[in-house]
Amino acid sequence: MPQKLHLVFGGELIDPAKSAFKNVNDIHIVGMFPNYATAYEAWKAEAQRTVDNAHMRYYIAHIHRLRDEEKEGSVTEKLG
């Protein structure tokens, strides 16, 4: 069974109604987590810590969904 990695990250948005970061260089990488439950706990802690700033958002990215080991690689992957 493949490992299901989850990345928790966040930062300040230009507009709280959109998902564009104000400064990509300031994105806070919380960490990589081996399952959704631990990623959710990390996300929740950061979201609660920054609750007073309406422009701050944290996300959980399902890294394991970016690559399907059963499918043939993309053209750019083959170049690398």
Q: Domain for residue 1, yes or no? A: no
Domain enclosing residue 20, as ranges: 6-79
Q: How does residue 80 score in pLDDT terms, banded at 50, 70 and 90? A: very low
How do residues 24-48 score in pLDDT, each as one tens digit?
A: 999 999 999 999 999 999 999 999 9
In-domain check, residue 41: yes
For 11-23, how does the pLDDT look when each residue is reduced to its tens digit (9 = 90+)?
A: 999 999 999 999 9
Measured distance between the N- and C-terminal CA atoms of the chain, rounded to whole angstroms: 26
Q: Give me the number of domains the chain comprises.
A: 1
CB 47 within 8 A of CB 11: no
Query: How far is 48 from 58, CA to CA, in rounded Å?
Result: 10
CATH of the domain at 35: 3.30.70.2400
Q: Report d(CA 14, CA 20) in Å as an integer.
A: 6
